[in-house]
Structure 1
Amino acid sequence: MYRGASVGVVLPAYNEAGFVGDVIREMPEYVDRMYVIDDQSTDSTWEEILDAARDDATANGRSPSGERAALVADGGTSVLNRASVHETIGRVVPIRHTENLGAGGAIKTGYLAAREDGVDVTTTVDADGQMDLSQLPKLLDPIVDGKADYAKGNRLLSREYRATMPRFRFIGNSILTFLTKIASGYWKTMDPQNGYTAISHDALDAIDLENLYEYYGYCNDILVKLNVEEMRVADVAMPAVYGDEESSIKYSHYIPKVSTMLLQNFLWRLKTKYLTVDFHPLALFYLVGGGLAASGTLAIGALLVSMLSSVVPTLVGATTSLLLLISGVAFLLFAMVFDMAESERLEVQVQ
C-alpha cells in the first residue's frame, strides 16, 4: 500500500520479451497488484511474464494464491471473453488475450480487473522500460491527497525530451495535444499520448470503461470521458527514459485515426455535457462557429477555383466569403474561452 491506499499497476505487453520481466521485478514494494496483460504476443513475452512473476513472488516472500482474477467471474463483458487468466502469482495477475486487442484493449482489461478488485489507485506502466518507476509517487500523490481523480505524466515540460524527440514525432504530438485540448476540455493538459497515468477507483467507476477506445488513442479518449464526469486531472512533469525499445506506432495511420476519434468525442462531449445534462451557450458557439467557418472556407475555395478559370469574383462575393470565415473563427474563439473557464477548476499542474 502507498500512504494507506491500495495500488494496482496495469502493465500491457505486446512483444516485450527482454523488457517486461525487468519491469515486473523492479516494481516498487508498495504496489499491491500487477495486472500484466499479454496482448497475443508472438515472442516469448508470456513465458517471461510468468518467470518474472515467480521471481517477484519469491523475492517478496509470497506464493501463488491459486486464485484467478475476479474479472472472469461473470464473463459478461466482451473484452473479458477474449482473455484467459492465469492463477495469481504473488502480487502478479497474468492475463493473456486470446486475440490482439491493441494497447487500449489491454488497458481496458487491466482496468476492469482493478475496478472489480476495488483497488484504490490504478496506474498504467508500459512494459518496455521507458517509464521511470521512481517517479510513480508523483502520480499517486495528487490522488491520495484528494487533489485529483486522474494523474498523467507530461514529458513535454522536459527540454531534454523535446530535444531528443524526432521532429515528425514532435509535430505529431503537438497536433494531437491541441486536438485533445479541444476534444476533452482540459486546456492546460499536454502530452496526452503519455501512457504513464494513475486513476482513482471512483473515476474508474464513473466513466464508461467498457467502451474505452481500444487503439493507441485510449489515453485521449479517457480524458474526454473524465471531463464529462467532472473529474479533476493532474498534469505531472515527468522525464522519459530511453533504451533499446522500438515503438510499434505507425504515425501515418495513428494521427488520422485518432484525430477522427477525437472529433467524434468532441461532438459527444458537447452534446452530453452542455446540451443533455445541462445547457451552456458554448455548445451553440462551437456549432455556429464551425458552420460559419466551414461555409466561409468552402466559399473562398470556390472563389479561388473560379479565379483559376479566369473568372473574376465579384466584390460582394469575396467580401461575404471572408466575413463568413472571420465570423466563424470569432465564434469558435468565444466558445474556446468559455470552455477553458468551465474546465479550469478541473485541472491541476504538478511540477
Structure 2
Amino acid sequence: MPNITDLDEYFSSVIERLKCLRPKEVLSYAIFNEDEETKYYEELARRVKRDSIKVLFIQMSDESKEHRDRLYRLFKKLYTDEEPVKVDVPPVEVFPYYSEFEKANDYLEALEYCMKSELFAKKVYEMLISYAENEDSRGIFSQLALMERDHYLRIRKAYEFIGGFMDKKKTITELSPGGYLFEDRLKARYAFLDFLSKGKGIVFSRKPPEEIRSWMKRNIPVVWITSKAAKNGIITLKPRFIVESPETLCGDLFQEGYKVVLLESIESLLVEFDEREIAKALMTMKDMAIQNDCYILLQGEKEAFTPRMWAMLTSEMEKLD
C-alpha cells in the first residue's frame, strides 16, 4: 500500500521524465494511462460499498475510457500507420491504492489518492498542450485538462462530504426523518444516493430526467419541474403545485412508498413566488416527512435568497454540506 504523502514527489518525478520525451511518446503515455485509470476506477467501484462513491467511481471509469478513445483517435490522425507504444516512464498506477472500504477513513484515503492522480493527469495534458502541433490537438488537450480538473473537483466534493460526517461523528443511517438542506448540488446527490439505503427515492429537478439518470447510473424516478406540457413520456410538475399544494404532493409520494425525496434548485421557485410562500411550503414538506418517517433533501443556492430566508431554512433543516 502506498504512502500517500509521498505521491506528490512521485508524480513530480514522472512529469520530469515526460519532459524528456517527444510529443508522440507523451501522447502514447497518456493513452495507456487513461486505459489503466479506467480499469482502476472499475475495480474501486467493484470494491466500494457506499452507493454515492460507487457511482462516482463508475463515472470516473466511464469518462476515462472516453478520454482514452479520444486520445487514440487523435494519435491515429497524427500518426496514421502507427500504434501507441508503451514508453519507459512509470505509470500513475504504479502504486494503485485499493481499500477495503470498511471505515470512513478508508474512503478518505482512497479519495485523496484519486485527487492526486487526477491533478497529475491534468499536468500531463497541460504538457501536451505545449507540444501540440495544430489547433485541433491543442483544443483536445485543453478540453481533457479541464475534464481532469472537473474530476478532481468532483472527487474533492465527495471527500468533503464524507469528511463532514466524520467531523459530526455520525452517518447517514443515524439521521432522523425530516428535512435536510444542501447548497452544493453534487453533495446533495451523493447524500440522496446514500439515503436510498433507507428506502425508495425520487428526484424533483429543473434538470432533464435523462441527464440525472445518466449521472446517477440508475433508472431512478425523476420529475422535471417545468411549466411546459409533458412530452415523450417525461413526468413533469409545475412549480406552482410544489408551493401551493405541498401536503398533497408529499401525501401522494409517501402513500406510493417513497422514503427519500430530493428537491433540487429550490431557488427556481422564486420566479413565481415570494420567499415567505416558499418557506411555508418547504416547512410543511419537512413536517410531513417527520410524520411519515421519511426524508426531504432540499438543494438551493444560498446567494439567491435573502439572509433572513436562508437563516429560516437553516433553522428548520439540518445543513449537511
Q: TM-score range by the shorter chain?
A: under 0.3
- Flag the structure with higher helix content: 2
TM-score (norm: length of structure 2) = 0.28
TM-score (norm: length of structure 1) = 0.26
